[in-house]
Amino acid sequence: MKMLKKAVAVVLCLAMALSFTAIYSSAEYVSYEDWVEYYKTCDNKGVIMTPGSDETEMNFCWHSDRNWTGAKPVVRLSKNSDMSDYVEFKGTHTFSEQASQRSNNVTATGLEENTTYYYVYGVDGEFSDVASFKTHSFDSFKFLFISDVQPSASSSSGDPIEKQTYLWNHSLEVAFDKNDDISFIVNGGDVTATGSDTAEWVGFLSPKKYLNSYPMAAVQGNHDKKGTQYKYYFNNPNVHLGASPTVYGNGYWFRYGDVLFVMVNSMKINIFDNYALVKKAVEANPDAKWRVAVMHYDIYGTGHHAVQEETLAVRRSLAPVLEHYDFDLALTGHDHIYGRSYFIDDSKVLTTPGFDEGKVVDPQGLMYLTASGSRGNSRMDGREYDYEWIATQYRSLNNCYTTIEITDDGRLILESVDTITEKVIDEFEIVKTDYEFKEKDNDNYLEMIIKPLVGEYYVIFEILGDLFDKIASIFSR
Ligand SMILES: [Fe+2]
Ligand SMILES: [Fe+2]
């Protein structure tokens, strides 16, 4: 009898293992029926990796059951699939948003390029199954840009969450099937629908095949702002709390190869915090050859959100800062309509030689990209928006993704794909021959930010500015 029980258990385990691999083992995409079955096994304890402070670091964050011993979270990293010769990294933990769980944060350092790393994560000797990620070249690399996943468990959200997450997984399936050389994912925000429902995080984390193997850098969106949970799921590097930190998460920056990524919380009311973040990030990376900003609000975007007052306020306060610090590209979300702007500088839409042919060299100003939705929530409003700053837009209900490749010979190559038709919908290339960082010689750019916001009261800032100058001159004598 005992033997029979054992045999049945083995067969059941094998069947479970096979049913899991049946979902993920072939190059064919998962069927909806298989996904619905698989989804029943998902929870909110999956890991989210985030690029660390630079390309040699990897940050880990995961939820686990509350552990009363206070044991530190641990990540073990090995170059061998049997985890032999592992290196162990210990981190910190905080209370999570749930009484029965905690949020664990670990940073692994010393990563090398073109290497496969196997890892386990855990607490108090209880480790996850072995997973792996691969680093590619640090000099030339490709990343994936998606946005607005925002799975919702609410009955008013249309599709059931299984359908939404099936489409979210499908976006990643297509992107990674076509690109086996992606180093990390950038997410333009609205990570979840309310930021306060665990079911949304179960949904967001459900494409484990991809999220266990690719780090993701995400900004906060207006939907994340509705709750407080974002910060318990992401272990971001170089977080800038500023003078008015928010409870749901703050801006941060990281460096990957020659590129500085500044991840802005565009919902912050205190515009000086974002100015300080950008300034601090740029000054810490004077040798970066490219500067990319990521923010949720599509300040030169594609749909009705792009001209709402809160978006315009961010445009007025942040665009001059990005221009001042010589940014090349801004990646945004929010409108769920894919589009790409002309190059813009000083609030002007520029005519850039080569633009219409899809390739420009050392352009002035910066270009803004707006992502579609990522889980079947792309929008096709009744009317087409003909904003003067939009060079191309893609009106479809399908999810799209964008890959951006930065090469060591000075090219940024952008390609966007419809995940249902799998057709390329947009391509563009920026070539850089001149890497000199050109901070704009414009002392008044703070005036440019503040004046439109405070109008006639700007005189107060002028008086205060004069006063500070006088005090500074007294102390410098
Ligand atoms: Fe959104
Ligand atoms: Fe949004």
pLDDT tens digits, residue range 47-69? Answer: 999 999 999 999 999 999 988 78
Q: How far apart are the first and last CA of the chain?
A: 94
What's the average model confidence in pLDDT over 157-169?
A: 93
Tell me the CA–centroid distance for residue 192 and ligand 1, in Å: 9
The band of 401, judged by pLDDT with boundaries at 50, 70 and 90, is very high
Tell me the CA–centroid distance for residue 426 and ligand 2, in Å: 23
E strand spans, 335-410: 338-341, 344-345, 348-349, 359-361, 367-370, 390-394, 400-406
pLDDT tens digits, residue range 277-330? Answer: 999 999 999 999 999 999 999 999 999 999 999 999 999 889 999 999 999 999
- pLDDT: which is higher, 454 or 56: 56
Tell me the CA–centroid distance for residue 379 and ligand 1, in Å: 10
> Could you give phi then psi for residue 188, rounded to 5 degrees?
-80, 15
Residues 170 and 23: beta-carbon distance below 8 Å: no
Those residues with Cβ within 8 angstroms of residue 468's Cβ, 6 or more apart along the chain or in another chain:
none
What's the average model confidence in pLDDT over 165-175?
A: 97
- Name residue, tokens 């399936």: 173
Tell me the CA–centroid distance for residue 193 and ligand 1, in Å: 8
Residue 196 has pLDDT above 90, yes or no: yes
Specify the amino acid at residue 381.
Answer: D
Ligand nearest the Cα of residue 306 is 2
E strand spans, 382-473: 390-394, 400-406, 411-418, 424-431
**Mean pLDDT for the chain overall:** 90
pLDDT of residue 26: 45
Tell me the CA–centroid distance for residue 147 and ligand 2, in Å: 9
Tell me the CA–centroid distance for residue 297 and ligand 2, in Å: 7
* Alpha carbons 6 and 206: distance in angstroms, whole number: 31
The band of 97, judged by pLDDT with boundaries at 50, 70 and 90, is confident
The band of 476, judged by pLDDT with boundaries at 50, 70 and 90, is low
pLDDT of residue 443: 59
pLDDT of residue 29: 95
Ligand nearest the Cα of residue 298 is 2
pLDDT tens digits, residue range 215-233? Answer: 999 999 999 999 999 999 9
Residue 171 has pLDDT above 80, yes or no: yes
Percent of the chain with pLDDT over 90: 76
Q: Please name which of 143, 215, 175 lies closest in space to residue 29, comparing C-alpha atoms.
A: 175
What is the domain class of 141-431 according to CATH?
alpha beta
Residue 165 has pLDDT above 80, yes or no: yes
* Alpha carbons 426 and 394: distance in angstroms, whole number: 9
Residue 176 has pLDDT above 60, yes or no: yes
* Alpha carbons 149 and 145: distance in angstroms, whole number: 12
Residue 3 has pLDDT above 80, yes or no: no
Those residues with Cβ within 8 angstroms of residue 27's Cβ, 6 or more apart along the chain or in another chain:
177
pLDDT of residue 475: 65
Domain spanning 56-134, CATH architecture: Sandwich (2.60)
Which long-range CB contacts under 8 A does 33-38 form with residues at least 24 apart?
35/162, 35/165, 35/166, 35/169, 36/162, 36/166
Ligand nearest the Cα of residue 149 is 1
pLDDT of residue 14: 42
Residue 9 has pLDDT above 70, yes or no: no
Going from the C-alpha of 87 to that of each of 71, 76, 114, 118, 329, the distances in angstroms are 18, 6, 18, 11, 37
pLDDT of residue 158: 81
- What angle is formed at CA 150 by the lines to CA 146 and CA 153, rounded to 5 degrees? 150
Pairing of strands 92-95, 101-108: antiparallel
Tell me the CA–centroid distance for residue 248 and ligand 1, in Å: 16
Tell me the CA–centroid distance for residue 378 and ligand 2, in Å: 12
Residues around ion ligand 2, judged by CB within 5 A, are: 190, 221-222, 334
* Alpha carbons 215 and 209: distance in angstroms, whole number: 12
